[in-house]
Structure 1
């Protein structure tokens, strides 16, 4: 356990404890500079990612250091919100973007916030600046002269912030599925959704068999989003993990968020949209039902909301979000576009969460000459692939690699990305990226054409 101040601005204030795991290198002669991992989320369980990191070979030649970020599972305190977990499980049977659903979410967030604050937690202290300082303290506590940083999703924002504020001791940085600190916001989510979803549909059109079998997929998606928003489907579906069937609602907002979350595998999306258009919503209904099995007490929503509400939400209006949605998906219903993908009603949640605006210190691009590997998947609808090169523009010794046909968190899904990361760690100034040149998305699932009437 690493003990750090809860707030470094409050000298003499309380301390918190962060769990640390060190996974030994597989190699009998490991390199002296370990890899430290930064989990996504914000609020994800870093220890839960260890099996994926090990399976990807991240600890092959170097020790792997994993720390539970402040407020997350295994840290003390853990800012868990069972109130929000219970809402998430219930929400599969609610209209995604109905005002009544938003009120229930805000109520759950307020209950969690009030409970955490009553326990003495300083929610303003759970931010990316303090998070980065924790990792700087960890390196010093372990007596490590130099190490390599690897982060994905929110962990890339954290890694870039850490590189900007605490560059000493960093040999190299690898960022996977990039969230640039200077640009992330609620309107930004629509740009990423457009790029990721659009890439899936375009890849189908580029494969002759898929393109012939499923023509005009963008139009199909628009039509189905509009249809479901006007006339939601109320269904019973069995979660993919098994168990009793649950009642679900499929409206336009739910459809879009299932696509952004990759709840239906990308290779199945064209077939699933075609089936939906022909009156068979089973694939999407089962994906929606999966939310009913949301684990209580794994995601640290306290860190999620403290970061989002202080760093992502301020400075933009509801109109800004709606206009970004209209630009990304012309013709879609405003009611769908008024909610940020994966973060519905977040502006209202943030009014209840009530933390200070930190955008002036966090919305800053990182300028560095530390060797950096920038990995993106072309099917990523959470943090679009274009944001990798965007972040790299101020990283003078960066190598940017796009992996076709891969979604969010590239390395565990791509053997090529694993080889590139290993090569980068061996020589950050000259990684071997050749395997990416010949890659193409996998063939899509092709279902039989319906018989003519």
Structure 2
């Protein structure tokens, strides 16, 4: 994401060597890296996970300091524990856990369960050991575009203190590599969903000789991502109009034009409408509930249905830190994303000025059907503008040469818009992009059987 800090060379060629796996499915407790420990695997104790194997990886919070405190990352292994092939499955956002989602996520991999052992983990700062910032969690819940208050953001930063600089994607990538060593895996497939696609690409770029297959579902590009989000606004117009072409769906007008009309009358509503329409793409990509009708009525001056829909989004967005940590959202995204003011250690007093300047350069055509208030005031931009400066790190020039990649994307996904998938596809020559008509977010879990069959065939070849 941080285009001004690193450049990623993305080319692809199919790897022909077979996956090799050493050691048994339950290793003895051992040290696998500096300050890192591994419990080995045994039957999971949680009743809902009793059919899986569980372990715990211990890593240093600060890998440069041997005196740093450690973090315990729960690990779950499913599929065939004795299989010669292994797949690392990465969840998203950032903020989602891993093992607790296994019963829902792993149903997508029935086609490979005999040929692969499938590994999930709680990435640092998530799950049972999630970074918990009560005020920020209460305000944002499970939403990644909700606009937070300055007080909640500053309270979270104060709670985490200097530790918050150790939750960048770079840290997670190092954790994955420690896990590979702990499992005694020579090479593995890596499968990511949403933000998990970003970490998957970063891992593959840093350790490309260790990756046999790369599956990217609902893609976040490693480059060309900007906090203003204006490059995605045209996708909202396209998708809203496309929803209205669904058989049996009779929209009362042009929902994109209606959205623009609402914002002409109430420009400050932009960030809320951006969040609302995005959440509709998660919850109901086939119909978007009654969003087109609500926007049409609001454009005519009746906000009743729009208020109801915004209230529904509020209820839908509630989530505890163990399910979606807003502490890790802030800690990771404010380190990783490309902001107009520069990196995480940029002077706080200059951020607003630089953000205003960047948004003022955007044309009405680039912003439509949203507006400048949406680009300037979306939840990501606001949260990280308030986030106190913290030590940043360079990400060196990386390459994905030799990675065999399959990209999956829903045509109606607005959480990670299709423009991002097309950008990533262009940046990985030789990759395969599968676009699912009418599809939404996270296609492997929520999509059709044809998607799962495509992934199965890719992973087994």
TM-score range, shorter chain: 0.7 to 0.9
2:171 aligned with 1:130, yes or no? yes
1:8-407 correspondence to structure 2 within 5 Å: 8-25=63-80, 31-57=83-109, 60-61=113-114, 62-75=116-129, 78-88=130-140, 105-117=149-161, 122-187=163-228, 189-195=229-235, 197-204=236-243, 206-207=245-246, 210=249, 213-229=251-267, 251-262=269-280, 265-269=284-288, 271-278=290-297, 279=302, 280-281=304-305, 284-290=309-315, 293-316=318-341, 317-318=354-355, 319-321=357-359, 323-324=361-362, 326-330=364-368, 332-340=370-378, 342-350=379-387, 352=388, 354-358=389-393, 360-361=394-395, 366-407=399-440
Q: 1:38 to 1:332 in 2, by over 3 A?
A: closer
Q: Report the alpha carbon displacement of residue 333 of structure 1 after superposing the two structures with TM.
A: 4.4
TM-score normalised to structure 1 length: 0.75
Contact 2:335 2:392 in 1 (8 A): yes
Counterpart CA distance in 2 for 1:17 and 1:369 is 32
Q: Secondary structure at the match of 2:77?
A: strand
Contact 2:340 2:358 in 1 (8 A): no
Counterpart CA distance in 1 for 2:317 and 2:290 is 24
Counterpart CA distance in 1 for 2:79 and 2:171 is 27
Contact 2:405 2:431 in 1 (8 A): yes
RMSD of aligned C-alpha atoms?
A: 2.9
Counterpart CA distance in 2 for 1:63 and 1:171 is 14
Q: Secondary structure at the match of 1:219?
A: helix
User: Runs of 5+ in structure 1 lacking a partner?
Assistant: 231-250, 428-453
* Cross-structure match for 1:438: none
Counterpart CA distance in 2 for 1:66 and 1:331 is 39
Counterpart CA distance in 2 for 1:53 and 1:172 is 19
TM-score normalised to structure 2 length: 0.74
Q: Deviations over 1:320-353 (max 9, x none)?
A: 245458444336443333223x425134222x2x
Contact 2:77 2:119 in 1 (8 A): yes
Contact 1:227 1:252 in 2 (8 A): no
Q: Report the alpha carbon displacement of residue 271 of structure 1 after superposing the two structures with TM.
A: 4.0
* Cross-structure match for 1:422: 456
